[in-house]
């Protein structure tokens, strides 16, 4: 009985081990190694390396399954050429490929229906692309007659329409999940004809708005976010980044709301889920627009502070949590944290909220900071200029360290006594935490209600910002 059980275990393990095997027959190569790699996001990674035998055969196999998605085979020893193919549910198949000096050709598959379909799909799509490029090049010919240019423009439009029809038909008829997912990622929304009511003013603007919202709302119609294939293709990340940076309005609230909708669709697909979260977590660093740090705070709170980021270690989660805690109190639009318990040059206590001005500039600086030595006098000149123009502005200049001797000397030498110069002599205001001061100088601008309206800007930007606000208020 024991022998029978062991035999069954052996047979089942042998069968399982054979489930994953990709055999490639190379024709015309002298290479001795072949590389199997996969697409992940915008990059390509090596999965495995194997020896090419004297018959030109290379075998990639493993005891478990490959992740479904786009893969490539490369010959790195003498040239950096490769070809792409798909691995779906069927993971035991053969490939034949002829190797030329610069590329692979006549690539064929046995026992891989998905790659048969992928080849046909690629050939058709590339054919449409070549035709489009041909007419696009003709369109830019300098000596082209007006009538001919109009004809080529119509041809380009027809080619685009035919491409869209081809993609939609391919998506409808394709049965293989992985290839269907890839086709869905390539499809662009087709905006229908929109009828505009006669009583609408600014018809062009109304039409553009309707077209934009249709395109945005249908951009992801054919994408299954829970299919693990999407992150292992060359198409998902460019499509996602285009949506975030080019299609969505670059407003932090819009970006937070819309990105969370997408992220939540991928909860069942940990790789896509993690990628989108991490991309949005650092989006403010990519665009560097003022106020975008709200995206970091909201994404950080929802997925890292909450414990949803299960792929991250505790040290990284703690780092993100601390940064969220330090950033949230000083977001644009927030009531500025009070700076109390600080003292001026005459050792008199100062309360920030007692200062009444249309604009309150706060600069955190240190007399030993080289950049501060140039920026503080520059800000003082701008402050003086704004006062001369009749703009109601005050400045709190907050000492960032304990060196009051250099501080007093600098203020006296630069004659900036009409600012509210303060220091935290008891070190109990926690201004470095509440305003997230990790370098100096750092400048904030508040409105009369002490709401933060600008942060981390230069002296020149303070001038442009406040004067711009004044011009808006006069309109």
For residue 105, CA distances in Å to 84, 87, 197 come to 12, 20, 56
Burial of 237 (0-12, 13-18, 19+ CB in 10 A): buried
Q: How confident is the model at residue 12 (pLDDT cuts 50, 70, 90)?
A: very low
Q: How confident is the model at residue 79 (pLDDT cuts 50, 70, 90)?
A: low
CA distance linking residue 425 with residue 123, whole number of Å: 74
For residue 418, CA distances in Å to 364, 380, 384, 396, 400 come to 16, 10, 10, 10, 19
The per-residue pLDDT for 277 is 97
Q: How confident is the model at residue 85 (pLDDT cuts 50, 70, 90)?
A: very high
Length of the chain as a residue count: 475
3 state SS of 11:
helix
**At residue 1, does pLDDT exceed 60?**
no
CA distance linking residue 402 with residue 407, whole number of Å: 9
Mean pLDDT of 176-200: 92
The per-residue pLDDT for 431 is 93
**At residue 230, does pLDDT exceed 70?**
yes
The per-residue pLDDT for 25 is 95
CA distance linking residue 77 with residue 49, whole number of Å: 12
**At residue 10, does pLDDT exceed 70?**
no
For residue 259, CA distances in Å to 240, 254, 304, 306 come to 10, 8, 15, 17
The per-residue pLDDT for 41 is 85
pLDDT in tens, 369-384: 999 999 999 999 999 9
pLDDT in tens, 233-248: 999 999 999 999 999 9
3 state SS of 83:
strand
CA distance linking residue 69 with residue 234, whole number of Å: 10
Above pLDDT 70, what percent of the chain?
Answer: 96
Q: How confident is the model at residue 140 (pLDDT cuts 50, 70, 90)?
A: confident
**At residue 105, does pLDDT exceed 80?**
yes
CA distance linking residue 194 with residue 198, whole number of Å: 13
Q: At what angle do helices 177-186 and 146-173 cross, to 10 degrees?
A: 150
88 Cα distance to chain centroid: 28
Distance between start and end Cα atoms, the chain: 93
**At residue 261, does pLDDT exceed 90?**
yes
**At residue 156, does pLDDT exceed 50?**
yes
The per-residue pLDDT for 15 is 47
**At residue 17, does pLDDT exceed 50?**
no
In 3D space, the residue among 399, 392, 414 whose CA is nearest the CA of residue 362 turns out to be 399
DSSP state, 417?
A: T
CA distance linking residue 88 with residue 203, whole number of Å: 48
Q: How confident is the model at residue 9 (pLDDT cuts 50, 70, 90)?
A: very low
Q: Which residues pair with 85 in a beta bridge?
A: 71
314 Cα distance to chain centroid: 24
Compare 401 and 362 and report the one with higher pLDDT.
362
Q: How confident is the model at residue 5 (pLDDT cuts 50, 70, 90)?
A: very low
Looking at every residue in the chain, the average pLDDT score rounds to 91
Q: How confident is the model at residue 77 (pLDDT cuts 50, 70, 90)?
A: confident
The per-residue pLDDT for 327 is 96
**At residue 159, does pLDDT exceed 70?**
yes
- Which tokens in the block code for residue 396? 């709190």
**At residue 412, does pLDDT exceed 50?**
yes
pLDDT in tens, 426-461: 888 899 999 999 999 999 999 999 999 999 999 999
């Amino acid at each position: 009985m024991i022998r029978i059980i062991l035999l069954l275990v052996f047979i089942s393990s042998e069968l399982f081990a054979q489930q994953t095997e990709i055999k490639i027959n190379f024709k015309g190569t002298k290479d001795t190694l072949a590389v199997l790699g996969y697409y992940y996001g915008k990059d390509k990674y090596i999965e495995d390396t194997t020896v090419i035998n004297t018959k030109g055969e290379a075998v990639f196999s493993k005891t478990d399954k490959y992740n479904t998605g786009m893969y490539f085979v490369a010959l790195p020893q003498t040239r950096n050429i490769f070809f792409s193919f798909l691995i779906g549910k069927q993971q035991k198949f053969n490939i034949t490929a002829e190797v030329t000096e610069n590329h692979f050709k006549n690539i064929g598959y046995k026992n891989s229906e998905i790659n048969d379909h992928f080849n046909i799909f690629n050939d058709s799509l590339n054919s449409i692309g070549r035709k489009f490029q041909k007419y696009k090049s003709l369109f830019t010919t300098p000596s082209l007659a007006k009538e001919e240019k109009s004809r080529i423009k119509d041809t380009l439009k027809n080619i685009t329409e035919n491409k869209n029809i081809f993609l939609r038909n391919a998506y409808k008829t394709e049965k293989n999940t992985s290839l269907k997912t890839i086709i869905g990622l390539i499809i662009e929304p087709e905006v229908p004809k929109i009828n505009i009511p006669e009583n609408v003013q600014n018809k062009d603007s109304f039409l553009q708005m309707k077209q934009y919202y249709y395109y945005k709302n249908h951009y992801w119609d054919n994408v299954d976010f829970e299919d693990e294939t999407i992150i292992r293709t060359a198409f998902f990340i460019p499509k996602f980044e285009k949506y975030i940076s080019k299609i969505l309005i670059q407003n932090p609230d819009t970006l937070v709301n819309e990105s969370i909708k997408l992220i939540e669709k991928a909860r069942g697909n940990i790789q896509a889920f993690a990628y989108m979260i991490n991309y949005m977590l650092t989006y403010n660093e990519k665009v560097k627009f003022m106020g975008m740090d709200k995206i970091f705070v909201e994404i950080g709170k929802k997925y890292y502070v909450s414990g949803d980021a299960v792929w991250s270690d505790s040290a990284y989660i703690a780092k993100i949590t601390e940064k969220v805690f330090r950033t949230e109190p000083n977001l644009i639009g927030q009531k500025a944290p009070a700076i109390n318990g600080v003292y001026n040059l005459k050792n008199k206590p100062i309360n920030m909220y007692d200062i009444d001005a249309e604009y309150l500039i706060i600069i955190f600086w240190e007399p030993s900071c080289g950049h501060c030595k140039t920026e503080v006098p520059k800000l003082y000149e701008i402050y003086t200029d704004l006062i001369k123009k009749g703009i109601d502005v005050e400045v709190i200049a907050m000492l960032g360290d304990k060196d009051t001797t250099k501080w007093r000397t600098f203020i006296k030498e630069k004659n900036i006594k009409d600012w509210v110069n303060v220091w935290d002599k008891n070190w109990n205001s926690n201004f470095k935490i509440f305003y997230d001061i990790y370098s100096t100088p750092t400048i904030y601008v508040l409105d009369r209600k002490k709401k933060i309206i600008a942060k981390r800007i230069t002296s020149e930007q303070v001038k442009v910002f406040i004067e711009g606000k004044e011009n808006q208020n006069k309109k």
